Structure 1
């Protein structure tokens, strides 16, 4: 019998996360009152639903046909590798031996562990691509944690890397453009002797500069999968809390986004708490502003409370140094955050744009696919207990080609279209859903769903579809619009990713410890466990395989946890043959159509990690762990290319009681060095593709 590791003592705040992570990343969101107090229906309450069982089966048939047809997956290839020793235990697999598994997953699964390192399968090697503080702009100094300044940080790689994107770089062989989010700062781990009640102006300005986005060209080592940054490349760029961003779309210029510093309501300084994101077919990147509420002081209105804002001072005390973070003085400033940001990484002089047509909430991510006629459809999760997931359907078609006119047109695609929120209906009687995670009598958690329109933005203005709300209110207070139309409350919908092969959409639902508590929603078919510690992954098929459809079929693909727990499910695959997984967060696809899942807050005693799972064929549901990250860290930003895997190792050493003076981790540079969030590349030492 598999024995899982004992629970770690420093992971006692909210399960797998440390109290320090909860404090700095999301402002203790899981320990505040649930912002969603609406009484809209739940999945288990509406068996008859808007869509019939016949519609579900018709959409499922579309999935089957799409799966059989397959299709090309455009993922960049990495160069051949040379042998380097893997870091970490070999898990009994000898390099060059034949491992079983779905194509792309033929590696020996890494065992659960608590090693203070990035542990990868035997036969694989790794390198740290770039660390917090490494200079990427001309004139930026080498990193010195004892002499750090805001000016230096503004030219260096930011803190707590999350979402990653790698884009091709034409005309420069073996180079790619790496784009990274920098979600938040942990000042206790950044500054020696940090006093949280009395931060200095310099510390605050360093933190401002450490947030945001980085663009850095990386060089591929021709004979391995190693990547290294190209410092001072013309495309390299840092965008942070004092950089200019443009509001575009239906809410731009409206009364709700105007401030004393920006009476036109169109120019915002900064982007905050960028979590996951997406890469568009037209070559830009999307970045979701998530837990923005924690940066603001004195939030007390009803609308602020729906977004998780509280009264009093903020954790970081930024309001002492800039009045825009004090909502008592600038009540509209918070309305300028919580958007999806679009960045053109190929134009270092461009102004990134906050796309208000995609709605305002705690965006975990935003990943587009195209309709048959070329219109982008963007899927988005709102990472909060009992909140919703959404899609935006553009009314404009993407233009192909690399002409300037095509590029300028494509940079307007996300300003016009319709924003929808999801409503799910289960197909099993409520009596079969007891909150334990036991499968209903039909053997699956599944059902149908509908996309409810919230508002439509057009060239001549916007129209609300929500009674009692203007279009501007819908886009700025999107959560409230979802409440009013009865959207389905979910267990923290995080990253949402459509499969490039089948079109099926996968939604990571991380956990929800409040499910089933007194006064809170109980289990339903899409969220089948009360006190949900481990999360699940939902699989969605649009009707007729049309992303613009107003209906879909859904089923739970994975119900996470210890495979020996009867309340787990791995798409029907034998549970004794899978790795234990807890708290799925970010998702990505590999060239073979496998879904890869990174975790956040593993509650099974092991460190967080990266997992691959087959989505098609006889091995559908076969899940294997590929790597684990160091003490206190979270696995973010996975990219799976033919011959390289990239992960962002976020907040290493972030455990309760840790500080610069008393580090909990020695990663990545060993004892005596400051702990630094970093990006890691992994490749096979024999030069072959990942997992084949």
Structure 2
């Protein structure tokens, strides 16, 4: 099967993102802010002298970083062959080597167990899964397809009972149905309705199995499916907008369903935020829209072409852009669900802007305001931040959850601009480090809108929220290399961004390199770390690249200054998470180095900063998603196993059930043997 850029298969590219990599990047704005500034920056020292804010930022970052010397990191045996002399808590495991096993491969001394797989029962009355005899009614009650984000919400102090929440990003109909039953050019209405039911989210209660280990799904009043048929409440300043009204919803305040839910986060108040990402691929006939203003807006969001891949528009006009052009504007938001209230109505938050959200993650500022970070996952798109006006109310009661959720509907939306501190000539696209030894600099948050006030010339506030990409283009933010998951570190307070890749960087007619995106034809991606100057509500920050991913043997890779001879190869960082010690954990998507995707740990402070170690790898054709790392268990969502085959006729993977079974996207739990029943013992030690 031919692979597309990175390690993805053509099938994954078609069904997950609508072949985004095969189409021109939607951002064609003339926005080269960084390049213009960089020409005037003569040296790092000169940049630091340019202003007190920049000097303070760089000094503070350096003091907190704990970066090891590049020659021989402290704490590593002098010979450079052994394991670190001092074990970093949470990362003391034997590295899993790169491999192509059709299995979840874990270190010695660990065990694993499937938590839940596509088609398993979620709500009462769900029938046993039957690959050859699926129905929409059954799928409405069963675990959905292609699990991505995983969130775990403890229900007791020891985490013996928790609510597990999973996103179901997309459907791959050629693999969901027997090959002799599914005609991609003529799907049946029932097959389409099955796909609608397989999208969305699942909530299940899980318990720790103290005898066998792992997590076990149990029947519960909390168990719930959210699908493309579930009503959502529209909240925030764009609720009721003229751009959200349709014939089915003339109020613009009630939307059916959520789709292409990629990553997400658990909020401090115990709800889940989920990002709607590649929603453009589900709509048909966008290329036939003749109104030039509407057509330009559709193009900026990647809506194009005639019939869609899935042909949904044949069975419901809301997927036909000609019939309901505003329906496209009703997706691409951050959504919030309350797992602790199974009767609650999910929310779409318009104040966080509309674009291809990978996720949104929340941090509470020192003054109590809520700060939410989000990336727009496409080539040359931007990083955003939202700051609330109101203040967080501690606690997870129903009242506190409602109060804190409302904070996401009244604040200010910003977009990020990154400025490097090295001479322009040293950022040449090769990935070679500049003379100061790091890719780093400062940045600013540019306001876009606050409530009903727009800060962008030519845009109303309503237009800023609904057409955020177009508004952001006007203020010249930095074009990034696919900003995906963004998460604040609960231990050191810094924020980490996975920038997956960008094979178009530096090509003719495309944006060139800058210090925050320093490689041309960036196939392996990088991880960015930034720290707000003063407080999370600040409009200034300092940044640096923690990792420049790829083969450690290559000159264009960097691992926080750590000895490259000791690290695991890593490519295409996607989701990020933290363990209780503040170590960064990275899951990958589309490994361009020839081995399977996996989960990796990285200390971010101290002498082992940048020491990348692979903890597990996933099966044939799969992607690693949704990592959760707790004291007792590691969870990963194994997405699209076997999707490097053309169809279900000849599966290339038989995970998780083995034998001749069809592959099924699933969530797997991993734990250290002998430590499962001991509260407070770290599952990954």
Q: TM-score, normalised by structure 1?
A: 0.91
State the partner residue of 2:580.
591
Q: CA deviation at 1:427?
A: 1.0
Q: CA deviation at 1:434?
A: 1.3
State the partner residue of 1:5.
none
State the partner residue of 1:682.
670
Q: CA deviation at 1:405?
A: 3.3
Contact 1:129 1:678 in 2 (8 A): yes
Contact 2:526 2:572 in 1 (8 A): yes
Contact 1:579 1:624 in 2 (8 A): yes
Q: 1:691 to 1:548 in 2, by over 3 A?
A: same
Q: CA deviation at 1:55?
A: 2.5
Secondary structure, counterpart of 1:188 in structure 2: helix
Secondary structure, counterpart of 2:285 in structure 1: coil
Q: CA deviation at 1:11?
A: 5.7
State the partner residue of 2:75.
none
Secondary structure, counterpart of 2:391 in structure 1: coil
- The whole-number CA distance in structure 2 between the counterparts of 1:352 and 1:502 is 32
Contact 2:270 2:396 in 1 (8 A): no
Cα-to-partner distance string for 1:255-309 (whole Å, 9 max, x where unaligned): 0000000000000011010000111111100000000000011224110000011
Contact 1:376 1:413 in 2 (8 A): yes
Q: Find 2:473's aligned residue among 447, 466, 483.
A: 483
State the partner residue of 2:26.
35
Cα-to-partner distance string for 1:606-634 (whole Å, 9 max, x where unaligned): 00000000100011111100000000000
| Structure 2 residue 319 is matched with structure 1 residue 335 | no
State the partner residue of 2:601.
612
| Structure 2 residue 653 is matched with structure 1 residue 647 | no
State the partner residue of 2:139.
153
State the partner residue of 2:56.
58
1:408-419 equivalences under 5 Å are 408-419=402-413
Secondary structure, counterpart of 2:286 in structure 1: coil
- The whole-number CA distance in structure 1 between the counterparts of 2:544 and 2:512 is 18
Cα-to-partner distance string for 1:308-367 (whole Å, 9 max, x where unaligned): 110201110000000000010000001000000011000011100000000000000100
Cα-to-partner distance string for 1:65-124 (whole Å, 9 max, x where unaligned): 6679xxxxxxxxxxxxxxxxxxxxxxx99xxx9996422111110000000000000000
- The whole-number CA distance in structure 1 between the counterparts of 2:353 and 2:253 is 16
- The whole-number CA distance in structure 2 between the counterparts of 1:247 and 1:256 is 12
Cα-to-partner distance string for 1:472-510 (whole Å, 9 max, x where unaligned): 000000001110000110000000011111111111000
Secondary structure, counterpart of 2:243 in structure 1: helix
Q: 1:257 to 1:401 in 2, by over 3 A?
A: same
State the partner residue of 2:122.
136
Cα-to-partner distance string for 1:532-566 (whole Å, 9 max, x where unaligned): 0000011111112x110001111111000000001
| Structure 2 residue 168 is matched with structure 1 residue 182 | yes
State the partner residue of 2:393.
399
Greater CA deviation, 265-274 or 37-46?
Answer: 37-46
Cα-to-partner distance string for 1:440-489 (whole Å, 9 max, x where unaligned): 111111111100000001xxxx1100000000000000001110000110
- The whole-number CA distance in structure 1 between the counterparts of 2:159 and 2:663 is 33
- The whole-number CA distance in structure 2 between the counterparts of 1:428 and 1:63 is 16
Q: CA deviation at 1:223?
A: 4.1
- The whole-number CA distance in structure 2 between the counterparts of 1:639 and 1:57 is 36
Cα-to-partner distance string for 1:25-68 (whole Å, 9 max, x where unaligned): 00000110110000112433313589946423412444466679
1:363-378 equivalences under 5 Å are 363-378=357-372
Cα-to-partner distance string for 1:226-258 (whole Å, 9 max, x where unaligned): 111113x10000000111011100111010000
- The whole-number CA distance in structure 2 between the counterparts of 1:278 and 1:105 is 23
Q: TM-score, normalised by structure 2?
A: 0.92
Q: 1:402 to 1:272 in 2, by over 3 A?
A: closer
State the partner residue of 1:271.
258
State the partner residue of 2:74.
none
Secondary structure, counterpart of 1:577 in structure 2: coil
Secondary structure, counterpart of 2:502 in structure 1: coil
Q: CA deviation at 1:225?
A: 3.7
Contact 1:101 1:107 in 2 (8 A): no
| Structure 2 residue 163 is matched with structure 1 residue 163 | no
Contact 1:45 1:430 in 2 (8 A): no
Contact 1:277 1:288 in 2 (8 A): yes
- The whole-number CA distance in structure 2 between the counterparts of 1:222 and 1:362 is 40
| Structure 2 residue 552 is matched with structure 1 residue 559 | no
Secondary structure, counterpart of 1:668 in structure 2: coil
Q: CA deviation at 1:671?
A: 2.1
- The whole-number CA distance in structure 1 between the counterparts of 2:108 and 2:481 is 35
| Structure 2 residue 309 is matched with structure 1 residue 315 | yes
Cα-to-partner distance string for 1:622-664 (whole Å, 9 max, x where unaligned): 110000000000000000001210000000000042x222111
State the partner residue of 1:75.
none
- The whole-number CA distance in structure 1 between the counterparts of 2:589 and 2:396 is 38
Q: 1:650 to 1:53 in 2, by over 3 A?
A: farther
Q: 1:330 to 1:574 in 2, by over 3 A?
A: same
State the partner residue of 1:107.
93
Q: Find 1:243's aligned residue among 196, 219, 230.
A: 230
Secondary structure, counterpart of 2:35 in structure 1: helix
- The whole-number CA distance in structure 2 between the counterparts of 1:40 and 1:103 is 44
Q: CA deviation at 1:406?
A: 2.7
Greater CA deviation, 51-60 or 322-331?
Answer: 51-60
Q: 1:66 to 1:528 in 2, by over 3 A?
A: closer
Secondary structure, counterpart of 1:256 in structure 2: coil
- The whole-number CA distance in structure 2 between the counterparts of 1:475 and 1:177 is 32
Q: CA deviation at 1:403?
A: 4.5
Cα-to-partner distance string for 1:131-168 (whole Å, 9 max, x where unaligned): 00001111111111111100000000000000010001
Q: 1:603 to 1:98 in 2, by over 3 A?
A: closer
State the partner residue of 1:80.
none
Secondary structure, counterpart of 1:257 in structure 2: coil
Aligned length: 650
- The whole-number CA distance in structure 2 between the counterparts of 1:100 and 1:680 is 30
Q: Find 2:658's aligned residue among 651, 670, 684.
A: 670
- The whole-number CA distance in structure 2 between the counterparts of 1:524 and 1:336 is 34
Q: CA deviation at 1:419?
A: 0.3
Contact 1:132 1:158 in 2 (8 A): yes
Contact 2:224 2:342 in 1 (8 A): yes
| Structure 2 residue 97 is matched with structure 1 residue 120 | no
Unpaired runs of 5+ residues, structure 2, are: 42-46, 67-80, 288-294, 676-680
| Structure 2 residue 269 is matched with structure 1 residue 282 | yes
Contact 1:42 1:521 in 2 (8 A): no
Q: Find 2:286's aligned residue among 295, 299, 313.
A: 299
Contact 1:100 1:107 in 2 (8 A): no
Q: 1:279 to 1:510 in 2, by over 3 A?
A: same
- The whole-number CA distance in structure 2 between the counterparts of 1:21 and 1:163 is 17
Cα-to-partner distance string for 1:510-545 (whole Å, 9 max, x where unaligned): 00000011100111111111010000011111112x
Contact 1:224 1:685 in 2 (8 A): no
State the partner residue of 1:439.
433
- The whole-number CA distance in structure 1 between the counterparts of 2:576 and 2:436 is 28
Unpaired runs of 5+ residues, structure 1, are: 1-9, 69-91
Secondary structure, counterpart of 1:612 in structure 2: strand
- The whole-number CA distance in structure 1 between the counterparts of 2:510 and 2:328 is 27
Contact 1:131 1:679 in 2 (8 A): yes
- The whole-number CA distance in structure 2 between the counterparts of 1:148 and 1:308 is 32
- The whole-number CA distance in structure 2 between the counterparts of 1:526 and 1:564 is 22
Q: Find 2:512's aligned residue among 522, 546, 550.
A: 522
- The whole-number CA distance in structure 2 between the counterparts of 1:25 and 1:99 is 43
State the partner residue of 1:19.
10
